[in-house]
Amino acid sequence: MKSNTTRKLATTLVVVGAAAFLVAQSDDEPKYLGVEACKTCHTKDYLDKFDDEGERLSTYGVWKKNDHSRSFETLKTDVAKAVAENYGVENPETAEECLQCHAPHFDLPEVRTAETFDYRDGVQCETCHGAAEDYLTLHNLKSKQEEARLAGLVKPDSKIEWCKTCHDDHHASDPIPDFTPFDFERDWEIMSHTGL
Ligand code: HEC
Ligand code: HEC
Ligand code: HEC
Ligand code: HEC
């Protein structure tokens, strides 16, 4: 049977080991660069998609036009304040209860974000495609597709399951005037930016 001291020491070592591992991990993991880093090229990759004025849209253009790019701004509205009351939330702009979906990167440690990154850009490119630091210069080359994936580029496997991580009809009984339940076909049509 092990003595108490040995057991304590063993536990301590495990804890210290785990802490060292966590520190190493967050230093090693790629940084989020922010939408500005995607804008350069993805404003020129025109899709077979047009806005109400008949203007042809790019990948970035689709995002900019839809509600994901406004999801943080939404938290400043009177409707948001009314919703917040249902959750006992004072200020939606700073409450985890709202930011977790409307600005999902609000709590990233500084080591994980580049200076260009702003969580107030809401549900952004890297929310769905992964932190870009390590894949940015690989993913645009046909020959480096596999490497880009290994460096963190994500294309959500199951689109519908991915959407539902936020679109869980969270607001079904909240005072949102034009609330409609999530409908994958309709909502994917609105936000999709494929067909390059
Ligand atoms: C230097 C230009 C450039 C920049 C900057 C850039 N991309 Fe791209 N990206 C491309 C090109 C080129 C492709 C390939 C398009 C194609 O398949 O024709 C691409 C493809 C992609 C794809 C699809 C990959 C696949 O395997 O289908 C995703 C997702 C993507 N980019 C996300 C991003 C994100 C997120 C950012 C910002 C963090 C970004 N890109 C910044 C040029 C760029
Ligand atoms: C990280 C969370 C998150 C993920 C993942 C996500 N969304 Fe959203 N989405 C939101 C939020 C938050 C809003 C509300 C934006 C606003 O109006 O402020 C929204 C709004 C929308 C809207 C605008 C229409 C509406 O109902 O208000 C569409 C369309 C949409 N999302 C489609 C999708 C689809 C399709 C997927 C999956 C491919 C997806 N979203 C994945 C958080 C997310
Ligand atoms: C589980 C994810 C999730 C959480 C948590 C969440 N929201 Fe939302 N919110 C959404 C999604 C997705 C939408 C888009 C449409 C829908 O499903 O209602 C949305 C839409 C809204 C809208 C309507 C926007 C519009 O354009 O009409 C408001 C206002 C809003 N949310 C406020 C809040 C506030 C305030 C909180 C915190 C108390 C909060 N949300 C927490 C996911 C979330
Ligand atoms: C709410 C999640 C979400 C957001 C936000 C988002 N994307 Fe995507 N993106 C997807 C999904 C899902 C696909 C399709 C994956 C598939 O075809 O399986 C996709 C596909 C793409 C593709 C490949 C297009 C093709 O023809 O294959 C590019 C390029 C891309 N995204 C770039 C971007 C850029 C740039 C931004 C920000 C301006 C962005 N995405 C924001 C979810 C998202």
| pLDDT tens-place string over residues 52-99 | 999 999 999 999 999 999 999 999 999 999 999 999 999 999 999 999
Asked if residue 18 is part of any domain, the answer here is no
DSSP designation for 76: G
* Residue 12, domain member (yes or no): no
| Assigned domain for 154 exists | yes
How high does pLDDT run on average in the chain? 88
Q: What is the CA radius of gyration of the chain?
A: 21
Q: What pLDDT does residue 157 have?
A: 86
DSSP per-residue letters across 85-153? HHTT-S-TTT-HHHHHHHSTTTT--GGGB-TT--GGG-S-HHHHH---TTTTTTTTSGGGHHHHHHTT-
Ligand 4 in reach of 155 Cβ (< 6 A): yes
- According to DSSP, the residues that pair with 32 across neighbouring strands are 113
Average pLDDT over residues 36-53: 94
pLDDT digits (tens, 9 = 90+) for 102-129: 999 999 999 999 999 999 999 999 999 9
CATH of the domain at 168: 1.10.1130.10
Per-residue pLDDT tens over the stretch 10-35: 433 333 334 444 444 456 899 999 99
- Tell me how far apart the alpha carbons of residues 90 and 84 are, in angstroms, rounded to a whole number: 7
User: 36 C-alpha to center of ligand 2: Å?
Assistant: 20
**Is the pLDDT assigned to residue 147 strictly greater than 70?**
yes
Own/partner long-range contacts of 58-65 (Cβ < 8 Å, ≥24 apart): 59/193, 59/196, 60/35, 62/191, 62/192, 62/193, 63/35, 63/124, 63/125, 63/191, 63/193
Residue 117 lies in a domain: yes
> Looking at the domain assignment, is residue 96 inside a domain?
yes
- pLDDT for 27: 65
Structural domain total, the chain: 1
Please give the average per-residue pLDDT across 7-11, as a whole number: 39
Domain that holds residue 50: 30-191
109 within domain boundaries:
yes
In angstroms, what is the span from residue 28 Cα to ligand 3's centroid?
A: 33
Ligand 1: distance of its center to the CA of 182 in Å?
A: 28
Question: pTM here?
Answer: 0.91
Q: Whose CA is nearest to atom 38 of ligand 3?
A: 84
Residue 157 lies in a domain: yes
Query: Does any domain span residue 130?
Result: yes
Measured distance CA(132)–CA(125) in Å, rounded: 9
